Amino acid sequence: MHISVMGTGYLGATHAACLAATGHSVVGIDVDPARAAQLSLGRAPFHEPGLDRLLDDGVSSGRLTFDTRPEGAHGADVHFLCVGTPQAPAGGAADLTDLEAAVDSLAPHLDRPCVVVGKSTVPVGTARRLADRIRAAAPAGDAVALAWNPEFLREGRAVSDSLRPDRLVFGVDREESDRALRHVYAAAIGAGVPVVRTDLETAELAKVSANAMLATRISLVNLLAEVCEASGADVAALTEILGLDERIGHRFLAPGLGYGGGCLPKDTRAFVARAEELGVGASAALLREVDAVNLRQRSRTVELATSMLGGSADGATVAVLGAAFKAGSDDLRDSPALAVATALQGLGARVRVYDPMAGASVMRHFPRLVTSRDCEEACAGAELVLVLTDWDEFGGLDPVALSTVVARRRVLDARLMLDAEKWRAAGWHLVALGRGGR
């Protein structure tokens, strides 16, 4: 099929490359000339394992092109909307400005029957409003169908999640939309990926509801960890017990610094905002508390770090290991690690940051933070080391070797990455979230 992808950020670039990899002819449209130019060279403007290879293959084969002009999408059978919907500057609602602008730029070029497919995460009810907006402006009018096909990508695993998803959701109200989507995803469906066909509203709710449930689980286990820390209980043993309950399972039961990134925080807040608009805000209060517990993990980590420094961070040299919101990514959006690093800097600490992938982004967006080339450089002369992102590299650090470069052997493990017995045997004072001094 001939497909256009409106927006080539994290979602759009990955989606376009993976569609081209399955044999479709794809054009990615983006308003940013620098981004379009870089993608045209087969290189992603962000880190995602395996994506550069797919981009290069797609561009080299001619199946994948990029353009800055909306008319570049003319003639496509299917148009995917992959534009970001960030949190609005005021309040927790989703900002649909860029999505609406993309729709308005695309609609005048829809002069033949086609399907416009939303993949962006939006408040429930958005799709039907956009359908009216598109058809009113499109030369083809009612011959333009609109569907919703939410994404479930995990940063660090986005390529495999796109090529081998665990489910496909088709929110459709016309048979031709369902047929088109089944053609687009024929390879995945042929490999046995289940398809859930539903209405537009349910499809809109699918991604944000999944994120709300994940956020709730993460915040709940962090609440349990804080209770364990206060009472002297062992959160590791507690989560093992809970994980053996088949109704609960082991996944996402690891306590720590909390969630961040471009999806869970803003999607949870947007869900609450939309629930309030629909008149069910009282029940959505649960998710407001989920968000509060998550943010509390950051301030609690700063408090613990300050306590380990003797009650004041002013003038202390602190090494922060990790800047990205999660391992496998260079994404700094709503990063708990950076929130802690900047808070300690605000308290007067001399903060040095090391991240295996996000160092360049930290230098660009947080120039006041000192960025180090490796763990040893970050930890040189440090009075406290903080492990704030769950990179495997940090779990494999040698506490004996590291003790020769730090000023004080004190470490705060906010991701439960370190072997506590091994580090304490090497003379380190180790504190782990949820375990205190255990």
Question: Catalytic site residues?
Answer: 263
Q: Which one, of 120, 88, 93, lies nearest residue 273 by Cα? A: 93
Distance set, CA 65 to CA 45, 58, 248 (Å): 16, 8, 45
CA distance 325 to 331: 6
Q: Which one, of 134, 303, 310, lies nearest residue 229 by Cα? A: 303
Q: How many other C-beta atoms can be found within 10 angstroms of the C-beta atom of residue 180?
A: 23
Contact 268, 212 (CB under 8 A): yes
Contact 222, 294 (CB under 8 A): yes
Q: Which one, of 166, 158, 387, lies nearest residue 263 by Cα? A: 158
CA distance 320 to 362: 12
Token readout for 276 is 């309030």
Contact 389, 261 (CB under 8 A): no
Q: What single-letter amino acid sits at 36?
A: A
Question: How far does CA 17 lie from the centroid of its chain?
Answer: 19
Token readout for 74 is 């003319």
